[in-house]
């Protein structure tokens, strides 16, 4: 998977199931449209957008797109499009379908996931690769995990790990709470919760800043490889709509 595609795949990796309030006591995150600037080693690479809406009660749909700027597009056309849909039942995000298309240097990779809860399995396709994976509670596609993280942060508990489908494989990531931080952004100074994640024994570290007053929307995401930052997303603007009841 190319670096921007892997980076946005990690964009949600984190947290769950909270303590003081039950799922029924809290509303799911309100619909929103967020826009980000993408940097690589402090150089502008392009822009990204994340969108959440509810086409009908208890059903969600999300989109995430990464577009290179003109200079980057001339050199290497990195573009990523993701979309996911699912249901919210008994306070739990339950993905149904996920698609990703990533284009780099003229080569396109397509990922398709289908969650079959009646058969307790996930059908995964990534170009010529195919796999059938066991489905259990808490397994997420890369995009639905963003919704789960935002919602679970409202309920206040951080798990030790999360399970994500990466193309045709299940991967577990260790999670670490690094405290609160006041972050300067294009939206002003925001109170954030800082969370990091990494695979055991891996060389990549991804860190997320979730804005407390924006329903824990991620407002900065950085990735480090062998201790050096190589990709970063910074919030530029956000539109939040009326919360769901």
Listed as ranges, residues in the chain with pLDDT below 50 are 8-10, 12-25, 74-75, 244-245
The per-residue pLDDT for 224 is 92
- Tell me, what's the pLDDT at 176? 87
pLDDT digits (tens, 9 = 90+) for 14-35: 333 222 334 444 678 899 999 9
Q: Are strands 79-89 and 92-104 parallel, antiparallel or unpaired?
A: antiparallel
pLDDT at 13: 40
Q: Report, in angstroms and rounded to the nearest whole number, the Rg of the chain calculated over CA atoms.
A: 17
Question: DSSP assignment of 26-92, as one string?
Answer: SPPPPPEEEEEEEEETTEEEEEEEEEEEEEETTEEEEEEEEEE-HHHHHH---EEEEEEEEEEETTE
pTM of the full structure: 0.83
* Secondary structure element (H or E) that encloses residue 163, with its range: strand 161-166
Round to whole Å and give the CA distance between 245 and 225.
41
Q: Measure the CA–CA gap between 155 and 29, rounded to whole angstroms.
A: 12
Instruction: Give the pLDDT of residue 145.
Output: 87
Q: Where are the domains of the chain?
A: 3-173
pLDDT of residue 21: 36
What is the 3-state secondary structure of 84-135?
EEEEEECCEEEEEEEEEEEEECCEEEEEEEEEECCCCEEEEEECCEEEEEEC
How far apart are alpha carbons 164 and 54 in whole angstroms? 23
Counting beta carbons within 10 angstroms of the beta carbon of residue 237, is it exposed (0 to 12), middle (13 to 18) or buried (19 or more)? exposed
- Bridge partners of residue 34, in order along the sequence: 50, 238
Q: What share of the chain is helix, strand, coil (3-state, %, to 5)?
A: 15, 60, 30
């Amino acid at each position: 998977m190319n670096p921007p595609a892997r980076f946005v795949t990690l964009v949600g990796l984190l947290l769950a199931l909270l303590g003081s309030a039950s799922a029924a006591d809290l509303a799911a995150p309100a619909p929103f449209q967020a826009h980000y600037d993408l940097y690589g080693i402090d150089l502008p690479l392009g822009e990204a957008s994340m969108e959440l809406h509810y086409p009908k009660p208890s059903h969600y749909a999300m989109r995430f797109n990464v577009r290179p700027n003109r200079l980057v597009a001339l050199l290497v056309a990195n573009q990523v499009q993701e979309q996911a849909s699912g249901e919210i039942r008994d306070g739990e995000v339950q993905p149904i379908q996920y698609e990703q298309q990533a284009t780099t240097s003229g080569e396109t990779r397509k990922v398709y996931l289908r969650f079959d809860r009646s058969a307790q399995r996930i059908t995964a396709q990534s170009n010529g690769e195919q796999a059938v994976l066991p489905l259990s509670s808490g397994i997420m596609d890369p995009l639905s995990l963003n919704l789960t993280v935002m919602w679970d942060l409202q309920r206040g508990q951080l798990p030790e790990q999360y399970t994500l489908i990466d193309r045709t494989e299940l991967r577990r990531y260790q999670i670490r709470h690094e405290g609160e931080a006041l972050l300067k952004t294009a939206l002003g100074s925001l109170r954030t919760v800082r969370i990091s994640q990494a695979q055991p024994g891996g060389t990549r570290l991804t860190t997320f800043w979730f804005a407390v007053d924006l329903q824990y929307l991620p407002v900065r995401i950085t990735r480090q490889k062998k201790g050096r930052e190589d990709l970063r997303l910074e919030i530029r603007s956000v539109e939040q709509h009326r919360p769901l009841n």
